[in-house]
Amino acid sequence: MVSAVRARPQDPAVVALTDLELPRAWPDYVFRRVGASFRFLRTLLLGGRSVELPPELEGREELPEYLLREFHRMPNGYYSQTLANGYERGFERAMLGKVAAVRTWMARQLRECHAVLDIGCGSGKVAGAVAAAGVPDVWGIDASLYQLKIAARAMPTLQLVQGLAERTPFSDGRFDGVTACFLFHELPTEAQDAVLGEMRRVLRPGGRVVIAEPSVEQMHNRSFISLWRRHGWRGIYFRLLALMVTEPYLEQWHGRDIPAWAAAHGFVVEMDESDLPFRRIVLRRL
Ligand SMILES: C[S@@+](CC[C@H](N)C(=O)[O-])C[C@H]1O[C@@H](n2cnc3c(N)ncnc32)[C@H](O)[C@@H]1O
């Protein structure tokens, strides 16, 4: 994995990403190479296959197989410069601009904390919101250097590291808050367990995990008519969005019994509320 400036004893190296030259992945050649353009269209229209990592990409051998599925109909997933930039904007738009509010809510839950880790931080928006809420020591970790580079450019003061959610490089009890925004539904069951276990390890007793994920209602519990009555056209929109976007592990996440899952990993559920388009969960470490 990439390393650069050491922040302080025991902490991992903060990655100096702003000027890091990342290798191009195949979507970075769209409109320049016929093969790449054809493959791009194919993924958008028919769904994806496997992510292809450039051979020079640092840390590539540590990425688990499930991360290398091309879901969301997103050409090469989180692994290209072109799509990392596009994803960041596309996610906000596809969610009708509602993600900003949920990130602010997440940050508000942890504003009394001293040290917070945003896991699967992507372009760093949650970490940025937590820092803006006044938390002095904020870290972000993500598997994709392409995503992290966007975060670093937008918020140069964030402390960012490349790594896996299930095996972070932080010491036991390092944080009093952890966030995960739209991470768990992208993980298979075993990885969900490993990540919650890792959250417990890096949290001090009494620390909190704040989670935002797609709502259950988006896919289950309601017919189209009931969604229309309750949410108008937005209800129909979010159901269609969920049906269109390939999410191989969504059902494994929706099938979770959250109180039992939390208890099995040494947490208690403080809040679990679901409404379109988000489910918001707060856990406290025992
Ligand atoms: C849907 S994006 C959400 C990004 C960000 N949390 C946000 O609010 O925009 C999921 C992010 O999780 C990262 N990710 C997925 N599985 C991961 C894992 N096992 N370890 C580290 N990062 C992971 C992806 O690279 C991606 O950046």
For the chain, give the longest Cα–Cα distance.
Answer: 57
Query: Beta partners for 141?
Result: 119, 161
Q: How far is the CA of 213 from the centre of ligand 1 (A)?
A: 12
Closest ligand 1 atom to Cα of 181: 6
Q: How far is the CA of 232 from the centre of ligand 1 (A)?
A: 30
The full set of domain ranges for the chain reads 5-94, 99-285
Contacts of 284 (CB under 8 A, 6+ apart): 206, 207, 208, 209, 267, 268, 270
* The pLDDT of residue 3: 43
Distance of CA 191 to the CA centre of its chain: 13
| Full-model pTM | 0.93
* The pLDDT of residue 49: 82
Closest ligand 1 atom to Cα of 122: 27
- Contact yes or no for 207/175 (Cβ under 8 A): yes
* The pLDDT of residue 103: 97
**Cβ < 6 A, ligand 1 pocket:** 67, 78, 91, 120-123, 125-126, 142-144, 147, 164-166, 181-183, 186
Q: Rounded to whole angstroms, what are the CA distances from 28 to 75, 142, 149, 271, 277?
A: 10, 21, 15, 42, 31
* The pLDDT of residue 4: 47
Those residues of the chain that have pLDDT short of 70 are: 1-7
Of all protein residues, the one whose alpha carbon is nearest to atom 10 of ligand 1 is 183
What's the CATH number of domain 99-285, 3.40.50.150, 3.20.20.70, 3.30.70.1230, 1.10.600.10? Answer: 3.40.50.150
